[in-house]
Structure 1
Amino acid sequence: MEEPLFTIVVPATTANLGPGYDSVGMALSLYMTVSVTPADTWSVQYEGDEYAKLTTGSDNLIVRTVQEVAERFGKEAAPHSLKVSSDIPLGKGLGSSATAIAAGIVIADTLLGLDLQPVEKARIGSELEGHSDNVTAALLGGITVTYFTQGELEIIHLPSPAIGAVVLVPPKALGTEESRGLLPKELPHSEAVAGSAASSMMTTAMAIGDWELAGRMMEKDVFHEPYRKKLFPEIEGIRAYCHEIGAYGMTISGAGPSLFVAVKEGTEEEVAEKLKRKFPYYDGFALQPAESGAKIQ
């Protein structure tokens, strides 16, 4: 069997972190690995049953991303075979689609010698994804705070957040489109002001390392959690118990259906075990922020 030309590793992500709706993302220490080998036609081979239902030809999201990036630069990417392994739960609020897009961008950049800068990759990824939070974190690592609208992208990158993370994953997946369909088209001005203030306080607290304040603000979201919380059995009981055992805060991970718990660095294993015992409906992942984004291994 021919040896791969190169292998790419991309981290999972959680987005929003509460009131940072469509603008704040964090890379997490679950990974997708893609090995790239020359071939006569495009093909994608997934390891494991969870990803078996995904398309494996030229209509695959990773392949489509490679081709779309190539088209942007007036180039054509030669076919390759992609072998994918991943420990990121599919469709459960941990950025699996953004991870695929980030992988496709790095593959195109490498195969075509584009030498794209990080902000260029992030701009392309945001345009392809339709929002900037997950894909920017997947590409850059750490925490990213972004402003993305009408083609304008601004990024603040916090590369080494000093926290631990626990993600509670339920057995049922939920599509992003379905989850977004639960959101209102409008919010009263006063609610939007409160949400904006909570987001500003949260991101500033993250930047200065005040995770107790960041955790409190994480729970003051008005943009999406009030409309999605009905999807989560025992959510208020989980939040109360998280406070009881010393977590900084808990919020919905991305569009759901996972829950993200910010905890003191080094306590993530202990907190995950306690939560799994108390709420066995959920599987618990003890994680850390991933300092590196998508990269060639």
Structure 2
Amino acid sequence: MTTHSRSFKIRVPATSANIGPGTQPPKAVSLEERPSITYTGEGAGEVPLDAYKNLTTRVALYVLRCSLTIHVHNEIPFGRGLGSSGAAVIAGVMLGDTLGQLGLSRERMLDFALMVERHPDNVTAALVGGFVGSYLRELDPRATQAASVPLSEVLPEYPPDAGPDWGREPPLPPLGIGHYVRFGWAREIRAVAIIPRFELSTAKAREVLPQSYSRKDLVFNMQRLAVLTTALSRSPPDPDLIYEAMKDRVHQPYRRDLIPGLPEVTSSITPGTHPGLLGICLSGAGPTILALAVNSFEAIAEDARKIFREKGVDVDWLVLDVVSEGSYVEEHKA
């Protein structure tokens, strides 16, 4: 991004949610007063206080529109379970913070992100980096109501012929919507992303999930999740422990029909058949499959490619590192 006096880059990583048994259903969220335009002195009762109608703010927006050049270079495929929408949301939050010189804390940035994304897994990992567990807080009714404002009011489209009723004050996020913790991650573990060449919308992937689960399946996932968060931090990693701990009964079995080849890949590529593999799972809502490994990356990916081809699906693959710094801004002064 450039202005006439300075330029800066915002870097946001891809993310993978729902690692094995770790799924995160959204909940909801202490309120503070929202900022607004105020006017005193002559004409105070006549001046419009809508940012798109007030002359001062309209001119400020005009100057910004004429002075900014925004270029986006994206390497995260859309609709593949690698957090493309979460990355876009975090990039927008950081762009607003940088341009406005707001000095927002990471926690406050997360509040703004969650007003748009509405679930914490991808945006939290994209913002802070590393291996992260997160949840949405349950707060008092006023905060819950504020955090439940329809997305169309948080991010309204601005039509060219906007009438006098358009553009209500945007809702300010409650404080502390999301909480998170960073787990340890063994440095030798890398991720092989096996990416089918078709998109799968998160909404469609959620539709196939049941409204309720058996106690047995929930206990199965909770036991493995408790083990997995520690197992991935230990060096050297234990493939037998991690492979079993990455199994899931809450979302992968229900999405198998949406992703031809998923059952075959996750069952036939194991630490026994591919030394160096630690575990394998669906990345987010899919269709990308994520294999954690310490070596044999190409063999894992190419054997997965063969299985997918038998189902008529072409794939691409990448070997990715887990970044610890999350999103950040590189600023260059002219």
Please report the TM-score for the alignment, with normalisation by the length of structure 2.
Answer: 0.67
Summarize the Cα distance change of 1:127–1:214 in structure 2 as closer, same or farther, 3 Å threshold: farther
Count of equivalent residues: 248
1:11 alignment partner, SS class: coil
Report if aligned partners of 1:144, 1:157 keep a CA contact under 8 Å in 2: yes
Paired position in structure 1 for 2:263: 236
Identity level (%): 31
Paired position in structure 1 for 2:109: 121
Paired position in structure 1 for 2:178: 153
2:290 alignment partner, SS class: strand
Report if aligned partners of 2:196, 2:288 keep a CA contact under 8 Å in 1: yes
1:288 paired with 2:321, answer: yes
Paired letter, 2:274: I
Higher strand share: 1
1:245 paired with 2:274, answer: yes
How far apart, in 2, do the equivalents of 1:188 and 1:259 lie?
A: 25
Report if aligned partners of 1:202, 1:215 keep a CA contact under 8 Å in 2: no
2:249 alignment partner, SS class: coil
1:119 alignment partner, SS class: helix
1:83 alignment partner, SS class: coil
State how 1:1-297 maps to structure 2 within 5 Å: 5-22=7-24, 74=36, 78-79=64-65, 80-150=68-138, 152-158=177-183, 160-162=185-187, 163-209=189-235, 210-212=237-239, 213-219=241-247, 221-243=248-270, 244-246=273-275, 247-264=277-294, 266-277=295-306, 279-280=308-309, 281-297=314-330
Please report the TM-score for the alignment, with normalisation by the length of structure 1.
Answer: 0.75
Report if aligned partners of 2:137, 2:179 keep a CA contact under 8 Å in 1: no
Summarize the Cα distance change of 1:240–1:195 in structure 2 as closer, same or farther, 3 Å threshold: closer
Report if aligned partners of 1:272, 1:286 keep a CA contact under 8 Å in 2: no
Q: What is the Cα deviation at residue 215 of structure 1?
A: 2.9
Report if aligned partners of 2:12, 2:127 keep a CA contact under 8 Å in 1: yes
How far apart, in 1, do the equivalents of 2:35 and 2:298 lie?
A: 45
Please list every run of 5 or more consecutive structure 1 residues that lacks an aligned counterpart in the other structure. 24-70
How far apart, in 1, do the equivalents of 2:108 and 2:234 lie?
A: 27
Paired letter, 2:10: I
CA root-mean-square deviation: 2.6
Higher alpha-carbon Rg: 2
Instruction: Note the alpha carbon deviations across 1:173-202, whole angstroms, 9 max, x for none.
Output: 011111111111111223222222221121
